[in-house]
Amino acid sequence: MIPMKYKVKLNGKIYEVEVEKGNAELLSEYDAISAPVAAPAAPAVAAAPAAAAAPAPAASGNATKSPLPGVVVAVKKNVGDKVKAGEVVMLIEAMKMENEITATKDGTLVAVLAPKGTQVQVGSALFEIA
Protein backbone atom coordinates (compact mmCIF):
# COMPACT_ATOMS: atom_id res chain seq x y z
CA MET A 1 0.00 0.00 0.00
CA ILE A 2 1.28 3.46 -0.88
CA PRO A 3 1.55 5.85 2.09
CA MET A 4 -0.78 8.85 1.93
CA LYS A 5 0.21 12.31 3.17
CA TYR A 6 -2.34 14.67 4.72
CA LYS A 7 -2.36 18.19 6.18
CA VAL A 8 -4.76 18.52 9.09
CA LYS A 9 -5.68 21.85 10.69
CA LEU A 10 -6.59 21.53 14.36
CA ASN A 11 -6.82 24.27 17.00
CA GLY A 12 -4.82 26.81 14.96
CA LYS A 13 -2.03 24.38 14.08
CA ILE A 14 -1.38 22.43 10.90
CA TYR A 15 -0.12 18.87 11.21
CA GLU A 16 1.41 17.04 8.25
CA VAL A 17 0.95 13.31 8.69
CA GLU A 18 1.72 10.22 6.64
CA VAL A 19 -0.61 7.23 6.95
CA GLU A 20 0.14 3.68 5.82
CA LYS A 21 -1.83 0.56 6.78
CA GLY A 22 -3.37 2.21 9.82
CA ASN A 23 -0.08 3.63 11.13
CA ALA A 24 0.27 7.41 11.23
CA GLU A 25 3.54 9.33 11.46
CA LEU A 26 3.80 13.06 12.21
CA LEU A 27 6.01 14.70 9.58
CA SER A 28 5.79 18.34 10.73
CA GLU A 29 3.75 20.73 12.84
CA TYR A 30 3.35 24.50 12.53
CA ASP A 31 0.98 27.35 13.34
CA ALA A 32 -1.67 27.90 10.69
CA ILE A 33 -0.79 31.62 10.44
CA SER A 34 3.02 31.44 10.44
CA ALA A 35 5.50 29.71 8.13
CA PRO A 36 6.13 25.97 8.57
CA VAL A 37 8.72 24.87 11.13
CA ALA A 38 10.03 22.16 8.78
CA ALA A 39 11.11 22.96 5.22
CA PRO A 40 8.36 22.23 2.69
CA ALA A 41 8.75 18.90 0.89
CA ALA A 42 8.17 20.35 -2.60
CA PRO A 43 10.10 23.48 -3.58
CA ALA A 44 7.96 23.66 -6.74
CA VAL A 45 5.23 25.27 -4.61
CA ALA A 46 7.26 28.48 -4.55
CA ALA A 47 7.54 28.46 -8.35
CA ALA A 48 3.79 28.09 -8.93
CA PRO A 49 2.84 31.72 -8.09
CA ALA A 50 5.41 33.00 -10.59
CA ALA A 51 3.80 30.95 -13.35
CA ALA A 52 0.34 32.14 -12.32
CA ALA A 53 1.49 35.77 -12.37
CA ALA A 54 2.11 35.67 -16.13
CA PRO A 55 -0.71 37.49 -17.97
CA ALA A 56 -3.10 35.17 -19.78
CA PRO A 57 -4.30 35.88 -23.30
CA ALA A 58 -7.71 37.54 -23.50
CA ALA A 59 -10.61 35.12 -23.94
CA SER A 60 -13.41 35.54 -26.41
CA GLY A 61 -16.97 34.56 -25.57
CA ASN A 62 -16.62 31.00 -26.92
CA ALA A 63 -13.80 29.75 -24.65
CA THR A 64 -14.17 26.39 -22.90
CA LYS A 65 -14.64 27.14 -19.20
CA SER A 66 -13.41 25.19 -16.20
CA PRO A 67 -16.07 23.03 -14.56
CA LEU A 68 -14.14 22.89 -11.26
CA PRO A 69 -11.46 24.74 -9.27
CA GLY A 70 -7.93 23.35 -9.37
CA VAL A 71 -4.51 23.56 -11.01
CA VAL A 72 -3.76 22.86 -14.66
CA VAL A 73 -1.23 20.00 -14.53
CA ALA A 74 -0.98 19.18 -18.25
CA VAL A 75 -1.94 20.61 -21.62
CA LYS A 76 -2.23 17.68 -24.05
CA LYS A 77 -2.66 19.69 -27.27
CA ASN A 78 -0.75 22.57 -28.84
CA VAL A 79 -2.15 25.70 -30.47
CA GLY A 80 -2.85 24.82 -34.11
CA ASP A 81 -3.68 21.15 -33.42
CA LYS A 82 -6.90 19.72 -34.82
CA VAL A 83 -9.19 18.36 -32.10
CA LYS A 84 -12.39 16.35 -32.12
CA ALA A 85 -15.31 16.68 -29.72
CA GLY A 86 -14.59 14.60 -26.61
CA GLU A 87 -10.80 14.57 -27.11
CA VAL A 88 -8.74 15.41 -23.98
CA VAL A 89 -7.16 18.87 -24.24
CA MET A 90 -5.91 19.38 -20.67
CA LEU A 91 -5.84 17.92 -17.16
CA ILE A 92 -6.84 19.81 -14.01
CA GLU A 93 -5.87 18.50 -10.58
CA ALA A 94 -8.52 18.99 -7.93
CA MET A 95 -8.50 17.26 -4.55
CA LYS A 96 -5.56 15.01 -5.53
CA MET A 97 -7.39 13.75 -8.65
CA GLU A 98 -6.63 14.53 -12.29
CA ASN A 99 -9.71 15.54 -14.25
CA GLU A 100 -9.81 15.42 -18.05
CA ILE A 101 -11.06 18.55 -19.79
CA THR A 102 -12.24 17.67 -23.28
CA ALA A 103 -12.99 19.55 -26.48
CA THR A 104 -16.66 20.47 -26.75
CA LYS A 105 -16.60 20.55 -30.57
CA ASP A 106 -14.48 19.61 -33.57
CA GLY A 107 -12.05 22.28 -34.74
CA THR A 108 -8.59 23.77 -34.29
CA LEU A 109 -7.13 24.77 -30.93
CA VAL A 110 -6.55 28.52 -31.39
CA ALA A 111 -5.57 29.55 -27.84
CA VAL A 112 -4.54 28.02 -24.51
CA LEU A 113 -5.72 30.54 -21.93
CA ALA A 114 -4.65 28.57 -18.83
CA PRO A 115 -1.15 27.09 -19.31
CA LYS A 116 0.34 24.38 -17.08
CA GLY A 117 0.63 25.54 -13.45
CA THR A 118 -2.27 28.00 -13.62
CA GLN A 119 -4.70 28.04 -10.69
CA VAL A 120 -8.25 28.07 -12.10
CA GLN A 121 -11.69 28.59 -10.61
CA VAL A 122 -15.10 27.40 -11.80
CA GLY A 123 -15.85 29.37 -14.98
CA SER A 124 -12.21 30.32 -15.73
CA ALA A 125 -11.46 30.35 -19.48
CA LEU A 126 -9.20 27.40 -20.34
CA PHE A 127 -8.84 27.23 -24.12
CA GLU A 128 -10.53 28.18 -27.38
CA ILE A 129 -11.43 26.04 -30.36
CA ALA A 130 -12.41 27.55 -33.72
User: Starting at the edge strand that comes first in sequence, how are the strands of the sheet with 82-83 ordered?
Assistant: 64-65, 125-129, 107-112, 82-83
Mean pLDDT of the chain: 78
DSSP letter at 46?
Answer: H
What domains appear along the chain, each with residue ranges and CATH number? 1-41 (no CATH), 55-129 (2.40.50.100)
* Closest by Cα among 7, 108, 114 to 67: 114
| 72-88 residue pLDDT tens | 999 999 999 999 999 99
Distance of alpha carbon 10 from alpha carbon 45, whole angstroms: 23
Residue 14's alpha-carbon distances to 2, 4, 58, 72, in angstroms, are 22, 16, 38, 26
- More confident site: 39 or 97: 97
**Entry pTM:** 0.55
Please give the average per-residue pLDDT across 3-13, as a whole number. Answer: 75
Query: pLDDT over 90 for what percent of the chain?
Result: 49
Query: pLDDT over 70 for what percent of the chain?
Result: 72
Backbone angles phi, psi at 67, to 5 degrees: -85, -5
| 25-55 residue pLDDT tens | 776 676 766 444 455 554 444 444 444 444 4
